[in-house]
Chains A and B, each alone.
Chain A
Amino acid sequence: MSRPAAIVFDQASVAYGRVPALEQVHGTVHQGEIVALVGPNGAGKSTLIKALLGLVPVASGSISVLGRPPALARRQVAYVPQADTLDPDFPVSVAQVVLMGRYRRIGWLRPPGRADRDAAAEALAAVGLAHRAADRFGTLSGGQRQRVLLARAIAAQPAALLLDEPFNGVDAVSQEALLATIRALAAGGAAVVVSTHDLGLAQLTCDGICLLNRHQFGFGPPGEVLTPDLLRAAYGGAALELGDRGLIVARS
């Protein structure tokens, strides 16, 4: 695949204040690719996503998003947080949440227009929740809320999509619906970075894997990165085994 690069990490280190959280990340996410960030708790997956959003500074090396420093690319980047971090009692409808994806495009002071409403309705239909448009956001299930947040990101028509553990607590059917939507967006040319703890899912559905634990253990096609040696190194020894038919996660 020789598509243009969308996100380029060049020996990037990310630090909170003076404490380095993540070092030596090096690799490229091309347009239309889905790359998974995997690694144990505290590995730095969320940190890397925050760095891609320009919310945590790059201490050394560089990160470029769509050819620019992360903080300057934010208008073309959509971020999907974990749905369970949001207040379920907030008085906002599903349709309004999706429309929020358009706000940056609409700009200050102007109200949403016809095109914005259409884009929001289309995005909601794409995640299969058009019939819930008028319901309050908090009345949806966890998996449905996650799909609404994905719809909000799609409505923004981003060139890059960043998702932080979108599959947590989501059942297999909703997971499939989320994945199908993410794939469609990637097929349209967006670069997708998704953090997950589900190695099987990452292996089966992603074009690339970035294996992290405070520094990078591998960045490349699943077959090259999700190897027993690299996984053991990243997860600290004994936790994981690979079988020949796909991935088997086991304790030894």
Chain B
Amino acid sequence: MILFSSLGDGYVWRALLEVVIVGVLCGAVGVHVVLRRLSFLTMALTHATFPGVVIATMLGLGLVLGAGLFGVLLVAVVAALTGPRGAEHGRETSSVTAVVLSGGFALGMALMSTQEGFSRDLTAFLVGSVLTVQPSDLVVSAVTTAVVLGVLAALRKELHLAAFDPGAFAAAGYPARRLDLVLLLALEATVVTSLPAVGTIMAVALIVGPAATARLWCSRTATMTAMAIVVGVAAGVIGLAVSEQWNVAAGGAIVLSVAAFFVASLVLQSLPWGEPVAAAVARRKSAGRPTYSG
């Protein structure tokens, strides 16, 4: 395979490292996105982060830094617009989300149209450019991943309960809104971090895809998380190999392999013997030990 023979080149190593890091991050965060049905919100965040990239370019800021700052602003706007979640006064989220999505994207396009020379650089941020990842990008990705995974692990009890039973979570006196905000920030950090690898648009596939695939097979959140991470990393590595082998765009190849995992899982489960296999897998995983683990 060309991927392995070309590992001598530094840029391929960096790309490989980047897709592994991003695969881990997206897989782990995606579990929360899928369990809380936030896929659409994630899509909105990825699209609305796009103008941040354009503004950062215009101001000459670092792209990831610019997008990150804009992302935090965006999260604040979304949180303010949707109102207290769970409370009946909260606005209907999906229409707010849709407006944020298209508005953000339109703003990015409008800004971009005023800056003729930039259009080529910026397409890299729409569809990704993992082969040009710089060592500094790798450091940013690694640090973000460590921080986000740390936060998710530290809050896993509370995140699990809040996702499963938001009513009981609020009734127990937990600060539901603040936890939502933490998750939203983790999600936006993930979007910004996966920008170099797959771009704003396809980041949503890398976040939602592996977790949605794992959900089809797993009956525990812990196993689902592990499988989502494995699928995220595998899709990244396979996509990169395909891209090196046949010279197709890496971002596209990565997202296509995510889609392949998901579709293959759907097909396997819809085959006559798919259900029993999935059930047997689930049973074997849980057999014997009554898992009172959080």
Contact = CB atoms under 8 A, between A and B. Distances in A.
A77 B286 CA distance: 32
Contacts of B219: 91, 93, 136
Given A112-B292, A136-B282, A86 B164 contact: yes
Contact of B286 (A79, A86, A134): A134
Contacts of A53: 170-171
Given A79-B171, A93-B286, A135-B286, A99 B221 contact: no
Given A92-B221, A136-B282, A87 B164 contact: yes
A112 B221 contact: no
A90 B164 contact: yes
Interface string A119-140: 0110000000000011110000
A232 interface: no
Contacts of B287: 134
Contacts of B174: 104
A99 B172 CA distance: 14
Contact of B160 (A75, A81, A92, A135): A92
B294 A99 contact: yes
Given A81-B168, A91-B221, A75 B173 contact: yes
A95 B294 CA distance: 9
Contacts of B9: none
A90 B289 CA distance: 20
A38 interface: no
Contacts of A98: 292
Contacts of B167: 79, 81, 85
A74 B291 contact: no
A31 to B, nearest CB: 21
B165 interface: yes
A101 to B, nearest CB: 9
A111 interface: yes
Interface in B4-43: 35
- Chain A interface size, as a band, is 35 or more
Contacts, number: 108
Of listed A16, A75, A90, A117, residue having the most chain B CB within 10 A: A90
Nearest to A98: B292
B290 interface: yes
B247 interface: no
- Chain B interface size, as a band, is 35 or more
A67 B292 CA distance: 34
A45 to B, nearest CB: 15
Given A133-B290, A134-B286, A104 B172 contact: yes
A217 interface: no
Contact of A99 (B154, B223, B292): B292
Contact of B164 (A100, A117, A120): A100
Given A55-B170, A75-B173, A98-B292, 17 more contacts: A54-B173, A74-B171, A81-B171, A90-B163, A91-B219, A91-B221, A91-B224, A92-B160, A99-B294, A103-B172, A108-B154, A108-B158, A109-B154, A109-B155, A112-B157, A121-B290, A136-B220
8 nearest interchain CB pairs?
A74-B173, A133-B290, A79-B171, A117-B292, A136-B219, A134-B286, A95-B292, A53-B171
6 contacts: A54-B173, A77-B171, A86-B164, A92-B164, A100-B165, A111-B157
Interface of B: 35, 87-89, 154-155, 157-158, 160-161, 163-165, 167-168, 170-174, 215, 218-221, 223-224, 282, 286-294
Interface of A: 16-17, 53-55, 71, 74-75, 77, 79, 81, 85-87, 90-93, 95-100, 103-104, 106, 108-109, 111-112, 116-117, 120-121, 133-136, 152
